[in-house]
Each structure stands twice: as C-alpha cells, then as structure tokens.
Amino acid sequence: MSGVKGKVVAITGASSGIGEATALELAGQGAAVVLGARRTDRLKALAERIHASGGRAEVLPVDVTRRADLEQLVATAVERFERLDVLVSNAGIARTGLVAELDVDSWDAMIDVNLRGVLHGIAAALPVFHRQGRGHFVTTISTSGLKIVPTQAVYAGTKNAVRTLLEALRQESTDGVLRTTSISPGYVRTELADYIDDPEILEQTQRRMAALGITPDAVARAIAFAIEQPDDVEIGDITIRPTTQN
C-alpha cells in the first residue's frame, strides 16, 4: 500500500503547530485522521475545517501521559475506520534551564510527555499493527537532540531517548510489518516555546523562532513524504530545519 489516500492516521498533539498542519496535509491528500490533544475546542474547530473540505476526521481528548487515552485513540481509529495505518506521535513540551537549577518538576513533565507519551502510543498501537500485518510509527523529535546546548539538557535527553527507542524498535522489527520514522525539526513557528518559564530565555527563543522559523506546513509535508512510500520502503530519519539555522 503506497500513497496517503485511504490511509488511517492517528495524530497526538493535533490541536496546533505541526500536529494541526499534519492533520490538514494528510486529510487534504485523502487520509482519514483521528485527532488527539488536550484542547478539544481546537480539535473540534480543526475537524470542522477538514469536514468542510470533504475530508474525514474524528477527535477525542488525549493526554499522552495517560496510557488509557492512547489506547482509546487507537481504538477509535479501529472502530471508526476499521484499522490504523500510522500513528504520528507529535505531542511534546519544552522546558529550558540549567541542570544546576534543579527544576525537577519540569524534568518530570518532559519525561512524562516526550518519552512516556511516545511509549504509551507504541504500547497501544503495536498490537494492532502486528494483527494487521502493517503499521507505521512517525515521531516528532528535535534537532535539539542533534546539537546539544546549555539549558536544553533534559529536553534534548528526552528527545534522544526517543531516537534510541525508535532505532531499537526498528532493529527488532525487520520482518516487513513495521516502519518507523523519526522527524527532527529545527526552528518551526509553533507554540512550543510559549511555555518557557524564564522570561529572558522565552524572549530570546521567540525572537529566533520568528526570525528563522519555517512553517509547520514544511514539517507536515515531510511527514506526508515518509507516509506515502510503499510498504517496503522506510524513511528512517528526516532532519528538517531553516537553511539559516546553525
């Protein structure tokens, strides 16, 4: 099975940014999308846009730190569309700060969302993929895991943990059933930086994102490219960033 049209894709973190853009891109190419996020008001508005364009979309509240929510996301895809072809794990949070500041609560939050949330998705979808004989995990990581800088130690650590997890899963799954794709975006104009607590770092990050950032649509197109490949072709890693990012 190749192409995007006709595939069933579940997306976490779908209420804004890369998740929202991916939902619009894939639905526009004929995929059925099942959208999960905590902000259901935004999800409903997004689904209305998709429906108005003739697309197919279902929405439900999803907190990726809760395993049951991911199980329900996958179950909804199967119940509504009879299968799940792709799980796009896009939900993520960024908290910055020096390790010496010992902001353990932020560390826990990033581990729970960025790492545990991906694991919950894998646990929910993997049995379905094996039962179907086909499935694809697409996961948003970050160039922060490729270029390590101060104040991003734990954030980058969670992203690199996911990178390691997906590579190990790939090596464990060379029977042709499973595909894994890691997407590492650089500066993208999203709301990710809006939750940085330090006012100085927040201002610096927002300024750089405004000056350098590419649109979420660019990442969505990269995700669509990975998904549209024939089942025997795996796009393992995609790094996508502004040409001006160092």
Residues serving a catalytic function are 155
CA–centroid distance for 21 within its chain: 11
Strand partners, 60: 36
Residue 4 CA to residue 78 CA, distance in Å, equals 17
Instruction: List the structure tokens of 188.
Output: 């993208």
Instruction: List the structure tokens of 51.
Output: 């429906």
Going by the DSSP 8-state scheme, the letter that residue 39 receives in this structure is -
Instruction: List the structure tokens of 3.
Output: 């192409």
Residue 203 CA to residue 210 CA, distance in Å, equals 11
- Sequence-distant (≥ 6) Cβ neighbours of residue 123 within 8 angstroms: 67, 70, 71
Going by the DSSP 8-state scheme, the letter that residue 214 receives in this structure is B
